[in-house]
């Protein structure tokens, strides 16, 4: 957890997202302990209540779980769960805005599909 906070979205959502990114990258493995809300508060200089809100979001989603008196851990299967969730959001977040910006620029459907194919080929 050492990303940078921006002002585009709520801080607690950014904390949750950074934690997810770190889990996807294997920085925190499944069944491993993650930083406490006080550690996150100190590191990002944010109110602990905000950090807790972000972490609790992931607890509610089953990505993290609490061990009473010890701390917060990454759930087994968290990586797959995060990937599934992000896939579901992919259409809403990326595809829709891609199509609407293409429409703004009067890019035809054929042109758009051609661009996507080209980009996918380059990867």
Partner 1 sequence: METKILRAEALVKRYGKKEVLHGLDVAFEPGHIYGLIGRNGAGKTTLLGCLTGQLRTTGGMVSYGGAPVWENARALGEICFSRELSPMLMFGQNTYKVKEYLRAARYYYPHWDEEYARRLMKEFGLDEKKRICRLSKGMLSMVTIVLALASRAPVTILDEPVAGLDIVARERFYQLLLEDYAETGRTFIVSTHILDEASNVFEQVIVMDDGRIIENAPTEELVGQFHHISGRADEVDAAVAGCTVLFCEQLGRSKAVCVRCNDEALARISAHDVDVAPMNLQKVFVALTGHKEEDSHETK
Footprint on this chain of partner 1 (rule: CB under 8 A): 5, 7-12, 38, 41-42, 44-50
Let me know: does 28 contact 74? Beta carbons within 8 Å. yes
SS3 12: helix
- Separation in Å, CA 97 to CA 27, 32, 37, 104, 106: 30, 36, 34, 10, 14
CB-wise, 41 or 58, nearer to partner 1?
41
Phi and psi at residue 10, to the nearest 5°:
-60, 145
In whole angstroms, the minimum distance from the beta carbon of 106 to partner 1 comes to: 14
Smaller CB separation from partner 1, 21 or 47: 47
Residue 9 vs 116, nearer CB to partner 1: 9
């Amino acid at each position: 957890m050492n990303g940078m906070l921006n002002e585009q979205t709520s801080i607690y959502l950014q904390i949750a997202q950074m934690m997810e990114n770190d889990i996807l990258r294997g920085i925190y493995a499944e069944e491993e302990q993650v930083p406490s809300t006080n550690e996150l508060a100190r590191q990002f200089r944010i109110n602990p209540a905000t950090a807790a809100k972000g972490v609790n979001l992931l607890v509610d989603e089953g990505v993290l779980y609490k061990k009473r008196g010890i701390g917060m851990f990454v759930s087994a299967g968290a990586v797959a769960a995060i990937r599934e969730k992000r896939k579901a959001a992919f259409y809403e977040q990326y595809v829709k805005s891609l199509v609407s910006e293409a429409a703004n620029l009067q890019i035809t459907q054929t042109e758009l599909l051609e661009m996507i194919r080209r980009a996918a080929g380059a990867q």
